[in-house]
């Protein structure tokens, strides 16, 4: 090898050393926080001396002195890092978080940030890591989610009556003496969600979809409230194909992931098969309105979604973590805050009413992504809108439009502008409404732009508005005039949102 080759070899080794050093310092920081929480001093002279002897003995004789010098310096840097970390830690910092196997995007950190002044992290752990992590003591309070709600039970020194009865733990508290208390705040959350419908289950038949952990919690709560509870599954005595046996049911609860993002639109039960229903609940919170809840809304049945349950159980968990009561009004405030941040803002209106212009500026103002249905249609088709109309006619275009809206409607926290004729297909309404607030932009027909809009060319826009107007108003949650300055329109939308 020449000198350049040797230097490349050194560069590779140095990069590996740097990566391992940074990894070590991250662990050092975590240990420093744990020591702070457990009242243990940073310096452990005996441990350091023993470590230096072990490392020196493991090295080759040629480099023993150098290894000792190197790790003496590393340990000094580690102590300094821990001391710096402790200085930056607020005296009242608690280390909390969510324990699960695959967490993806979770709203829990955002919710807990509203509930108290403590650290809240996501802890994704493989099954073989769970016991070691829980016993490590490197946390003050934990929420536990799928699939570890039963795994953590043997690690608890004490269970609440609720957790013991249900056989599921979703909240852990490490007490000052190091013992672990397990509770189930999902039950509290479900009671809250049930209360939002005003339905009293005492003496009435309740159907619960699913037989998993969420179902166990729901069934336990309903039984404690005096309901006759029937669980539904794909097979067995009570299943989705013999609902006629339970036409007298007063309550239906979906306690399965069916209909959850990205599998929006799925539902196990057609509510028309249960004519006596007085309330419908769904533990799913994304989308905001599952297919089940959208049908309940259409049929005029009181209903509630899983977001209120999620926030309420988090509020109760936070009370356990902090050892204090949090006002119930905080649940409603945080639920409303989260709902407004999660849901899309969807613009509808006549062709040329300014949806694109308003949408782009609104997205910038709200710091959200902007999505335009017509652009997505053109991208997928590889054709312009006028070309699609020429080749496939309006019916072909409408089919493409529905498929695009099916995907865009699944998104969260975006601003989406739609084509002027999307309201002509009733099937588009649930696609937009499932996770969105629909805003109608209104503009005088004489001021509507026509360029690039196939159906506007030479059309009587007053007549078109007369036909579509009721459709727009059927879809819309709010209506805003766009006849004045665009800035005024955006401010009006924000005020109404």
Query: Mind telling me the catalytic residues?
Result: 149
Residue 300 backbone class (left: φ over 0; alpha: ψ -120 to 50; beta: rest): left
Kindly write down the DSSP assignment for every residue of 93-110, as one continuous string. Answer: --EEEEEES---S-SHHH
Residue 459: strand, helix, or coil: coil
Contact 246, 230 (CB under 8 A): yes
Question: 141-144 and 370-372 as β-strands: parallel, antiparallel, unpaired?
Answer: unpaired
Element (H or E) spanning 251, and its range?
strand 251-254
For tokens 């249609």, the residue is: 377
DSSP state, residue 239: B
**Sequence-separated contacts (24+) of 183-188 with Cβ below 8 Å:** 183/159, 183/317, 183/320, 184/160, 184/217, 185/143, 185/313, 185/314, 185/316, 185/317, 185/320, 186/214, 186/217, 186/309, 186/313, 187/162, 187/217, 187/220, 187/221, 188/312, 188/313, 188/316
**Sequence-separated contacts (24+) of 425-428 with Cβ below 8 Å:** 425/398, 425/401, 427/402, 428/401, 428/402, 428/475
- Of 226, 477, 471, nearest to 339 by C-alpha is 477
Q: What totals of helices (H) and strands (E) does the chain contain, helices first?
A: 17, 16
CA distance 36 to 304: 43
Contact 435, 411 (CB under 8 A): yes
């Amino acid at each position: 090898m020449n000198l350049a080759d040797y230097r490349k070899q050194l560069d590779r080794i140095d990069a590996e050393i740097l990566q391992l050093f940074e990894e070590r310092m991250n662990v050092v920081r975590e240990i420093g926080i744990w020591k702070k929480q457990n009242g243990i001093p940073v310096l452990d002279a005996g441990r350091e001396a023993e470590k230096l002897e072990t490392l020196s003995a493991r090295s080759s004789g040629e480099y023993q002195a150098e290894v000792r010098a190197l790790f003496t310096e590393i340990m000094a840097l580690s102590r300094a890092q821990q001391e710096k970390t402790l200085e930056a830690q607020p005296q009242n910092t608690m280390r909390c978080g969510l324990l699960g196997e695959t967490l993806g995007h979770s709203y829990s950190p955002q919710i807990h940030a509203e509930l108290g002044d403590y650290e809240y992290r996501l802890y994704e752990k493989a099954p073989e890591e769970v016991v070691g992590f829980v016993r490590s003591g490197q946390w003050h309070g934990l929420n536990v989610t799928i699939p570890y709600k039963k795994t953590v039970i043997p690690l608890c020194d004490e269970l609440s009556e609720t957790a013991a009865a249900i056989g599921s733990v979703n909240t852990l508290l490490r007490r000052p003496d190091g013992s672990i208390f397990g509770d189930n705040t999902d039950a509290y959350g479900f009671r809250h969600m049930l209360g939002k419908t005003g339905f009293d289950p005492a003496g009435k038949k309740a159907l619960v979809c699913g037989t998993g952990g969420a179902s166990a919690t729901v069934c336990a709560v309903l039984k404690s409230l005096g309901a006759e509870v029937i669980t539904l599954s794909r097979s067995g005595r009570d299943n989705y194909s013999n609902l006629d046996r339970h036409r007298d049911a007063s309550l239906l609860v979906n306690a399965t992931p069916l209909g959850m993002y990205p599998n929006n639109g799925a539902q196990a039960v057609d509510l028309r098969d249960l004519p006596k229903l007085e309330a419908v609940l769904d533990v799913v919170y994304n989308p905001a309105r599952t297919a089940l809840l959208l049908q309940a809304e259409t049929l005029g049945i009181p209903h509630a979604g899983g977001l209120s349950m999620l926030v309420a159980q988090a509020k109760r968990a936070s009370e356990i973590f902090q050892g204090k009561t949090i006002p119930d009004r905080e649940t409603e405030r945080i639920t409303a805050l989260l709902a407004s941040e999660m849901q899309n803002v969807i613009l509808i209106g006549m062709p040329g009413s300014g949806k694109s212009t308003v949408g782009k500026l609104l997205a910038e103002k709200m710091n959200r992504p902007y999505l335009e249905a017509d652009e997505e249609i053109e991208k997928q088709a590889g054709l312009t809108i006028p070309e699609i109309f020429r080749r496939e006619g309006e019916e072909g275009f409408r089919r493409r439009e529905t498929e695009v809206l099916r995907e865009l409607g699944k998104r969260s926290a975006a601003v989406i502008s739609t084509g002027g004729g999307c309201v002509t297909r009733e099937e588009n309404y649930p696609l937009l409404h499932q996770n969105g607030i629909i805003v109608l932009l209104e503009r005088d027909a004489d001021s509507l732009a026509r360029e690039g809009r196939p159906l506007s060319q030479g059309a009587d826009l007053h007549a078109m508005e007369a036909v579509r107007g009721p459709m727009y108003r059927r879809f819309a949650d709010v209506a805003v005039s766009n006849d004045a300055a665009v800035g005024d329109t955006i401010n009006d939308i924000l005020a109404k949102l």
